[in-house]
Structure 1
Amino acid sequence: MAEADISRDVFGSLPDGREVERVTLRGAGGFEARIITFGAALQTLLVPDAQGTVDDVVLGHDDLLSYVKLRKFFGATVGRYANRIAKARFMLDGEEIRLDANNGPHALHGGPDGFDRKLWQIVAIDDGPQPSVTMLYVSADGEANYPGRLDVRVTYRLTGPTELAISFSARTTRTTVVNLTNHSFFNLDGLAAGTDILDHRLTLAADHYLAIDETAIPLEGPPQSVIGTPFDFREAHPVGARIRADDAQIKCGRGYDHNFCLRAGEGVRLAARVESPRSGRVMELLTDQPGLQIYSGNYIDATVSGKGRVYRQSDAICLEPQVWPDSPNRPDFPSARLSPEDVYRHETVYRFSTAGAAA
C-alpha cells in the first residue's frame, strides 16, 4: 500500500475545554477514513465509485458541536452493551444488575451515557504499510451500573488499498457483560448524490433472524427462518423491495431493525454484501461476530442535518456486527459474558470494490 499515509489534527473542543482529535488514514485512489476521539467514531469515509469519483459514504457531522448536541450514534463505537437489554436489567452470577433505561423500559447502546459519548485517548499511531490508530477508554467499575472496570481499545486500520478493519478488545476486573460494535450509517451512492438506500442490493450470510416485539426485544423461542419472508437476503435483493410488505415483523421495526443470525464459522468471514447500482460501489462486511443488526434508517426523520444536507428516512443503512440483543437475559443466545481471565475480541472488516454502475 505504497500510497497510504496518516495525519492528525484537532477536530474541536468539548464544552469543558477538552480537545477532540481527528486521525486521517489514507489509502489508494482517494480512499480515506477519518476517526475522531469523541466516541471513537468514524466521522468520514471517502470511497471511489465505478468512475473513480470519490465521495463520503457515511452519515455524520462536519463539526464537533453537532455530535455533542445530538446523540445519533453516527459512526460511533457503541458499548458497554450494543443493542438492547430488556427492562434494563439482567442476572449475573445470582446478582441482579439494574441499568439505566433509555429506550422505553429498556437499556440501549450502553444507556443514556454510553461509550459513544466518551472522549477516548489515542494510545498508538502506526504510519507503516497498514496505517492505523488505536484509541483507549477506561470504563470505571459501576459506570452505568455495569460491574467491573473495563479497559477498552479500538483500532482502525487500513488493511488494503480500499479496506478498513476495526478491531475491538476489552479486559475486565470483575465478571461482566460486553458487546461492542461500530454504528456507521452507510449510503454507497455517496452523500453528494442526495439519494436513499432503498435500491441498494443486500446479501446476507444468514438463514435465520430474531423476531421482535413492538419494543424491539427478541421474542421468546428460537430464531425464525428467513425462508418465505421479507428477511430472506440469502440472495441479493434491493433493501426497499419488501420494506412495505404486509408483514408483522416489518411493521414492528417500521422496516428492518432486526438481528440476523449469521451462519456459524470460525474467525472473520463474509457476513454481508451491499451494492449500489447507481454508483457501482460495493461493500463487503466480514466479521467474527455471531449476529448482524440491520437497520434501514427507519427513524431518521428530517430533524437532523449533517455534512451539508438534511437526513431523511432510509438515507442510510446500518450493519452492526455484534452478539445478539438481550443476550444477558437469554441463556439460549450466544454469551456476552466476560471474566477477568479472558479478553473480549471483535474483528470487523469493510472491503470496498466497484461493479458496473447504472447509466
Structure 2
Amino acid sequence: MTQPSLQRDIFGTLASGEAVHAVTLTNAAGMSVRIISYGASIQSVCVPDANGHFADVTTGYADIAEYVAQRQYFGATVGRVANRIAGARFELDGKLYSIPANDGTHSLHGGDVGFDQVNWTITDCDEEALSVTLSHISPDGDQGYPGKLTVTATYQLHPDNALSVHYEAVTDAPTCVNLTNHAYWHLGGEGAAYDAMDHVLMIAAEQFLPVDATLIPTGERRSVAATPFDFREPMQISKYVRSNADIQLTHGSGYDHNWIMGAEAASEPRLMAHLEDPVSGRTMTLLSNQPGLQFYSGNFFDGTTSGKAGKSYGVGDAIALEPQMFPDALHQPSFASVVLRPGETYSNMIMWRFGIGRLFSPNMNR
C-alpha cells in the first residue's frame, strides 16, 4: 500500500514569466495522476497492468514549451465550445456571431486560443479527498463568444483507481458552452512499441451521427447496426478503422464521430464506453452525463510529435473518447441545446475507471 498524497510543484514557466503549476495525486493503490494548470490538463495517468507494472497511459509532453509550441489538446480542457461549429459562425437570440475558423472554414475546440491554451488558476487542493479545482474566467467577446463565462474543473482521484473531472460553468449573458476533456489513451503505455488499434472497444450506443466530408454532422441519427460503427459488443478498433467499408470512415480517415448516448444531458454519469488492451491487460471504463461521445482514432498523428517517453506518435498510437454535447448543435435545432443563460449552471461529469481483466477473447475480432 502507498500513502495517499497530494503534491504541488511548478511544471514550467510561460514566456510571460507566469508559472504553470502541477498537482500530483496518488492513492493508496499507487495510482498517480498529474494535473497541470495550462489548459487544466491531465499530464499523466500511471496505472498498473495485469502483472502490477505501472505505466503512463495518456499522451502528453514532458515540458511546458512543447505544450505551447505544438497544440495537440493532450489531456486538455477544450472549450468554450468543443468540436466543430460549421462556417465559424452562429446565431444566438437573433444576433450573428463570427468566431475563428481554425479547421478549414469551421471553428474547432474554441477557436485560435481555446481553453486548452490558457493558464488556469488552482483555487483549491483537498488532500483528504485527493482533489484539485481549477478555474478560468473567459471574458465577454473571447474568441468572438458573448458573455463572461466562469468555469471550474474539479479533478479527483478515487481509492478504486478511478479519476473524475466535474466541469461547471456560469455566465452573465446568453452564450454557448460545450466543454470536454481531450485526453488520448494507450492502455499499454504512451511509449509502447505497439499502437492502440488492437485495443478492444465497447460503446454503449445504438446510434451515431454521420458527418459530411468536412466532419460536420448532417443532422441524421443513424443506427449502428450492421455498420463499422457498431461497438455495442466489444470489437477491436483495427477491424474497420483503416478500411473503406463505409464512406463515413473515408470522411474521417478513420473514426472521428459522435455516438448518441441520450437525447440530452443526464443528471448523473452513465456508462459510455469500455476500453481494453489485450497485451497489458489494462482496462478503462468511461462514464459521463453527456448525451454524446466523440471517438477519435488518432488518424492524423504524423510522427512529428514526441511524447513523454520520447516516442514519436504515429497514426493510431492513441485514441480519444470525449463526452460532450453534439457537434455543431448551434446549427441543428433537433440536437440538445448548448446555449447557457444567466441563472443556469452547465455541468459535465466524466469518470475514467481503470482496472485489469478481460471481457473478450484475446483473438476476438468479430
TM range (shorter): over 0.9
User: Match for residue 213 of structure 1?
Assistant: 212
Q: Cα RMSD (Å) of the superposition?
A: 1.5
Q: Distance in 1 between matches of 2:192 and 2:143?
A: 40
User: Match for residue 288 of structure 1?
Assistant: 289
Cα pair 2:29 2:159 within 8 Å, conserved: no
Flag the 1:2–1:49 CA change in 2: closer, same or farther, 3 A. closer
Flag the 1:194–1:30 CA change in 2: closer, same or farther, 3 A. farther
Q: Aligned ranges for residues 294-333 of structure 1 at < 5 Å?
A: 294-307=295-308, 308-333=310-335
**Which residue type is aligned with residue 225 of structure 1?**
S
TM-score (ref. length: structure 2):
0.95
User: Match for residue 239 of structure 1?
Assistant: 237
User: Match for residue 94 of structure 1?
Assistant: 94
Q: Distance in 2 between matches of 1:4 and 1:224?
A: 46
* Residue 3 of structure 1: how far off its partner (Å): 3.6
User: Match for residue 140 of structure 2?
Assistant: 141
Q: Distance in 2 between matches of 1:122 and 1:191?
A: 27
Q: Distance in 2 between matches of 1:4 and 1:273?
A: 27
Q: Distance in 1 between matches of 2:248 and 2:287?
A: 26
Cα pair 2:102 2:112 within 8 Å, conserved: yes
Q: Which moved more, 1:259-268 or 1:278-287?
A: 259-268
Cα pair 1:29 1:52 within 8 Å, conserved: no
TM-score (ref. length: structure 1):
0.97
**Structure 1 stretches of 5 or more lacking a match?**
none
* Residue 358 of structure 1: how far off its partner (Å): 6.4
Please list the CA deviations of residues 118-170 of structure 1 after superposition, one character each: whole Å capped at 9, or x if unmatched: 01000000001x21000010000010010000000001101333100100000
Q: Aligned ranges for residues 63-78 of structure 1 at < 5 Å?
A: 63-78=63-78
Q: Which moved more, 1:20-29 or 1:144-153?
A: 20-29
Runs of 4+ in 1 over 3 A off after TM superposition: 263-266, 356-359
Q: Distance in 1 between matches of 2:179 and 2:4?
A: 28
User: Match for residue 277 of structure 1?
Assistant: 278
| Secondary structure of residue in 2 paired with 1:250 | helix
Q: Distance in 1 between matches of 2:74 and 2:253?
A: 20
**Which residue type is aligned with residue 64 of structure 1?**
I
Q: Distance in 2 between matches of 1:241 and 1:318?
A: 17
User: Match for residue 121 of structure 1?
Assistant: 121
Q: Aligned ranges for residues 1-359 of structure 1 at < 5 Å?
A: 3-128=3-128, 130-220=129-219, 222-246=220-244, 247-263=246-262, 266-307=267-308, 308-355=310-357
Q: Distance in 1 between matches of 2:311 and 2:31?
A: 22
* Residue 263 of structure 1: how far off its partner (Å): 4.1
Q: Distance in 1 between matches of 2:348 and 2:3?
A: 28
